[in-house]
Amino acid sequence: MAGNKTFTMIKPDAVAENHIGGITKMIEEGGFRIVAMKKTRLSEERAGKFYEVHKERPFYGDLVKYMSSGPIVAMILEKDNAVEDFRKLIGATNPAQAEEGTIRKVYAKSIEANAVHGSDSDENAQIEGDFFFAADERF
Ligand code: RTP
Ligand code: MG
């Protein structure tokens, strides 16, 4: 059975351009409840650890630099079928391919600076949420 939690980050470009409110509005209107929320900044080392699964990909170095370039907003979200439904709400990785009404269609600037992250499995949602939040920071 699909889990009811996913993890997201509002990425540095979207935070810098004052889109925290617009993006959280789309998230809540999409039927998700914000269980945990934190504005923070990843060091290069921590960004490298978060994206360790992409270590062998050609874009890894740039991705780590970009994700540590400014503050981000981390959130745990709750909804039935959360992982799959959230990936539908954010749209394709490349905003040029993102569907109308998706967060990336509205806010992403490029394939790298694409406004938001969304977990790709229940297992990773758990791991990524635990990366940012203690038990007493979830409600
Ligand atoms: P995310 O993990 O951030 O939700 O994005 P995703 O699943 O749609 O994409 P993924 O393949 O996991 O890639 C992670 C992030 O790396 C950057 N990227 N850059 N320059 C490139 O070709 C490239 N490809 C991916 C994006 O920021 C992407 O979200
Ligand atoms: Mg991914």
CA 136 to ligand 2 centroid distance, Å: 27
pLDDT given at position 81: 98
Q: Out of 117, 119, 125, 129, pick the active-site residue.
A: 117
For 112-122, what is each residue's pLDDT tens digit? 999 999 999 99
Q: Is the pLDDT of residue 1 over 80?
A: no
- Listed in sequence order, the residues at least 6 apart from 15 whose beta carbon sits closer than 8 Å to its beta carbon are 39, 70, 71, 72, 73
pTM value?
A: 0.97
Q: Indicate the SS3 state at residue 74.
A: strand
- How many residues are present in the chain? 139
CA dihedral 104, 105, 110, 113 (to 10 degrees): -20
ipTM: 0.95
For 12-36, what is each residue's pLDDT tens digit? 999 999 999 999 999 999 999 999 9
CA 12 to ligand 2 centroid distance, Å: 16
Domains (ranges, CATH) in the chain?
5-137 (3.30.70.141)
Residue 98: nearest ligand to its CA? 1
